[in-house]
């Protein structure tokens, strides 16, 4: 059976890993994992900001990703083989990402 090139591409590029953020700014799953060549999407119940550590992996150089209500992304990692800590907060509010072992949220790349 022959496969189209679209099918072959689908097999080599993983589907984005979805993370849902509820109205209380709690992500699900809390700790996600994606492949080096993967991506992540965020489905937010309302507008919110994500702060990342280290910076520059999914957000801009300051480590902030501003999400709108609904689906956002996919976002490709700017680094490989790294675990990114992140926190979720309302717009115009800051938070400090903590490591998963400290009760924080994380995305493992690679």
Residue range 79-96, pLDDT digits in tens: 999 999 999 999 999 999
Alpha helices for 1-110 (secondary structure H): 5-12
Q: Structural domains in the chain?
A: 5-109 (2.60.40)
Which residues have CB under 8 Å from 15's CB, separation 6+? none
Residue in the structure block whose two tokens are 């690679």: 110
Residue 44's H or E segment, with its range, is strand 40-44
Residue 50: exposed, middle, or buried by beta-carbon count in 10 A (0-12, 13-18, 19+)? Answer: buried
Entry pTM: 0.84
- Measured distance CA(87)–CA(21) in Å, rounded: 11
Tokens representing 110 are 């690679």
Judge whether residue 102 has pLDDT over 70: no
Residue range 39-95, pLDDT digits in tens: 999 999 999 999 999 999 987 788 999 999 999 999 999 999 999 999 999 999 999
């Amino acid at each position: 059976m022959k496969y189209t090139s679209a099918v072959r591409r689908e097999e080599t590029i993983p589907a984005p890993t979805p993370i849902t953020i509820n109205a209380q700014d709690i992500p699900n799953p809390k700790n996600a994992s994606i492949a080096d060549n993967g991506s992540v999407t965020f489905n937010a119940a309302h507008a919110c900001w994500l702060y990342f550590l280290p910076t520059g992996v999914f957000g801009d150089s300051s480590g902030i990703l501003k999400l709108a209500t609904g689906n956002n992304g996919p976002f490709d990692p700017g680094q490989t083989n790294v675990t990114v800590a992140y926190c979720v907060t309302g717009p115009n509010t800051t938070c400090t990402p903590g490591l998963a072992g400290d009760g924080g949220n994380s995305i493992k790349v690679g």
